[in-house]
Amino acid sequence: MPVRIHWFRRDLRLFDNAALYQALSGDELVVPIFIFDTEILNQLEDKNDRRVAFIHRALEDMQQQLIKSGSSLEVYNGNPLDVFQQLINKYSISAVFTNHDYEPYAIERDTAIANLLSSAGISFYTSKDQVIFEKLEVTKEDGTPYTVFTPYANKWRATLEKTGIPAYPSEKKATQFFQQSPVPMPSLQSIGFIVSEENFPSDTPQMEVLKHYQQNRDIPSLANGTSRLGVHLRFGTISVRQLATKAKAASATFLNELIWRDFYHMILFNFPRVGRGEAFKKAYDAIPWRNNEAEFKHWCKVKRGIRLWMQVCVN
């Protein structure tokens, strides 16, 4: 029986998920998958990487929700091309759905996956999910991307007033998941990482924090001065659309931070050199840096403090 695949990446939630909603809206049942991409993980030297631990915990949470609906998340560890070849051999796949990723490596990876699927007669659909506006949705009058934030932000707000914020209630389509017994997930240890017992920030936006964000965000002594939602936005355990809706009602300053986030995603997509370690303005690639390891270590340990910092900045 043909199935659809939803490939989770930076959208680790079952609710208000654009690509997942599209996948679940068809006639075929949906197999949800996640891939621990070894092309990325093998570059991480710290095996106590909190990002990997966060992802693993988010996957465990989704797995428990899927089990309640009689389904299961399938979690793989390997090269995505190899994993999709396994999936092609395992299932009769009609289409694969996933959400956009804007980093240079991700774009190259997705192109390779799309080509592999196309050669097998399988469609590959991607959706906008981790930002409100992307790519060239907010541009100058001549259609070129902005490189300065303030005019971009003004155009962003004007565009939002025209379009509004859509919703994708994927949580209402749980019956469309492929029914199977729980598929065991690889442990953190089995993929080469250490289990972290530390707690992560809550994924629930606190309206009181948002309302007082402008006054409190720059005061380090306040435990709740900032939202602490960054990691959840990074990996999609919350919906940026739902958060933007709350921010629009509670705090123009916090909404402005979400606009900054869209701005940098837009820059990354339209100027991919910044994702390869190059300067945004090419002239800055020629800046002669003073790469003194001893001075840098002193600075990291807060020795010689402001004086050294000023020397680094001046030079």
Residue 242 lies in a domain: yes
Residue 277 lies in a domain: no
Residue 189 lies in a domain: no
Residue 205 lies in a domain: yes
pLDDT per residue, tens digit, the chain (315 aa), is 899 999 999 999 999 999 999 999 999 999 999 999 999 999 999 999 999 999 999 999 999 999 999 999 999 999 999 999 999 999 999 999 999 999 999 999 999 999 999 999 999 999 999 999 999 999 999 999 999 999 999 999 999 999 999 999 999 999 999 999 999 999 999 999 998 777 899 999 888 989 999 999 888 888 888 999 999 999 999 999 999 999 999 999 999 999 999 999 999 999 999 988 888 888 888 888 888 998 888 878 765 555 544 554 444
- Model pTM score: 0.90
Asked whether residue 227 falls in the same domain as residue 308, the answer is no
Residue 212 lies in a domain: yes
Q: Say how many domains are in the chain.
A: 2
DSSP 22-56: HHHTSSSEEEEEEEEEHHHHTT---TT-HHHHHHH
Question: Tokens at residue 79, please?
Answer: 């090269």
Task: State the residue range of the domain holding 302.
Answer: 282-314
Residue 60 belongs to domain with CATH number: 3.40.50.620
Question: Tokens at residue 138, please?
Answer: 């907010």
Q: Nearest-5° angle of CA 270, CA 111, CA 9?
A: 80
Asked whether residue 100 falls in the same domain as residue 164, the answer is yes
Asked whether residue 300 falls in the same domain as residue 151, the answer is no
Residue 130 lies in a domain: yes
Asked whether residue 18 falls in the same domain as residue 162, the answer is yes
